[in-house]
């Protein structure tokens, strides 16, 4: 008997990929979206779109969850780059990422859903593993985020994801519904947007980038790797009520990211070897220090727990993941 899985945010970058993979693996998919588009009107045997409206504390998920065994919760308010943190922004994130997630979990448990897989964020652990402002570690080794770390979110977005995790675990502790938390870093793949897409466009155009002297280390996760782990967590018996970090398992520098992009695009990467202190000075003068941190800072993730407990190995390399950014077919 096929398992029915509901996917929130099914029209999004990650949600669409999750739905496709579930269909490929013979699941029945309930794709939950804000509003149904004309192209989503046709109902197939194993895929049905359901409109749930805007995400908030009053969202009614009941009809969409009827007969569902597992919910993959991808929907939420993404972090807005350049947004000032404060009580106002935190209130907005809480209304969408916390209150609506709690409401979903409560109604899912009442509807008999056995498991909820929640897409959280590595920002629950923190913004970076070794900030630019702290210089070089005395032991020569950067700190690395682990699943066992005490949460230390520094942004409104990170705080909202941490609070959502706690709300889901609270519901799980009072019901029979299991919860699985996944914390990914930056996700890249075909259709990626924001800063990653801008950098990719610059590489494809052959622009010289002032990143030749950058020697940071970053963990990323290819869309196909994240989706593979999500689907594995739907039924894996050892995933019950666990929090997992996820990455490609291959840390790279920003310079290496550009080189992989160039290789995928079939162009030669062009670098300017600008001293890092010059980049820092320029970023400070332009009020872009946070942007420089996101691009050139360190953010390393330990996925040993994910690999050992679930027996999971990322199926896609960074090189292949970059290639898939530029192709429609995998």
Q: Is 157 a catalytic residue?
A: yes
| Residue 105 and residue 167 in contact, taking contact as beta carbons nearer than 8 Å | yes
In this structure, are residues 118 and 183 in contact, taking their beta carbons and an 8 Å threshold?
Answer: no
Catalytic residue among 49, 157, 169, 188: 157
Q: Are strands 187-188 and 4-8 parallel, antiparallel or unpaired?
A: unpaired
The string of DSSP codes covering 68-130 is -SEEEE--SPPP-TTPPPSHHHHHHHIIIIIIHHHHHHHHHHHTT--EEEEE--GGGT-S-SB
CA 49 to chain CA centroid, nearest Å: 23
Distance CA 208, CA 325 (A): 21
Tokens in use for 136?
A: 């070089």
Beta-ladder partners of 182: 119, 244
Contacts of 69 (CB under 8 A, 6+ apart): 3, 4, 5, 113, 114, 115
Distance CA 281, CA 304 (A): 37
Tokens 């029915």 belong to 4
Catalytic residues: 157
């Amino acid at each position: 008997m096929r398992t029915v899985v509901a996917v929130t945010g099914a029209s999004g970058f990650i949600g669409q990929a999750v739905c496709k993979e579930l269909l490929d693996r013979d699941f029945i998919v309930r794709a939950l979206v804000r509003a149904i588009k004309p192209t989503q009107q046709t109902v197939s045997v194993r895929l049905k779109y359901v409109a749930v409206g805007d995400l908030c504390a009053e969202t009614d998920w009941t009809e969409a969850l009827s007969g569902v065994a597992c919910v993959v919760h991808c929907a939420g308010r993404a972090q807005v780059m350049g947004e000032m943190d404060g009580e106002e922004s935190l209130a907005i994130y809480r209304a969408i990422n916390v209150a609506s997630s709690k409401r979903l979990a409560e109604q899912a448990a009442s509807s008999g859903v056995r498991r909820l897989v929640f897409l959280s964020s590595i920002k629950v652990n923190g913004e970076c593993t070794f900030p630019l402002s702290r210089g070089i570690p005395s032991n020569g080794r950067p700190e690395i985020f682990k699943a066992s770390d005490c949460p230390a979110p520094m942004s409104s977005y990170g705080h909202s994801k941490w609070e959502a995790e706690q709300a889901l675990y609270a519901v799980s502790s009072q019901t029979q519904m299991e919860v699985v938390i996944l914390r990914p870093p930056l996700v890249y793949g075909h259709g990626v947007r924001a800063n990653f897409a801008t950098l990719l466009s610059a590489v494809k155009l052959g622009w010289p980038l002032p990143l030749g002297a950058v020697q940071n280390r970053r963990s990323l996760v290819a869309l196909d790797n994240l989706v593979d782990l999500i689907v594995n967590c739907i039924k894996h018996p050892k995933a019950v009520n666990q929090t997992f970090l996820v990455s490609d398992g291959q840390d790279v520098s920003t310079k290496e990211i550009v080189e992989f992009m160039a290789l995928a695009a079939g162009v030669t990467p062009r670098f300017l070897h600008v001293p890092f202190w010059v980049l820092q000075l320029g970023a400070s003068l332009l009020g872009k220090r946070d942007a420089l941190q996101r691009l050139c800072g360190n953010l390393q993730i330990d996925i040993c727990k994910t690999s050992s407990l679930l027996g999971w190995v990322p199926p896609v390399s960074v090189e292949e993941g970059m290639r898939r950014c530029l192709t429609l077919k995998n």
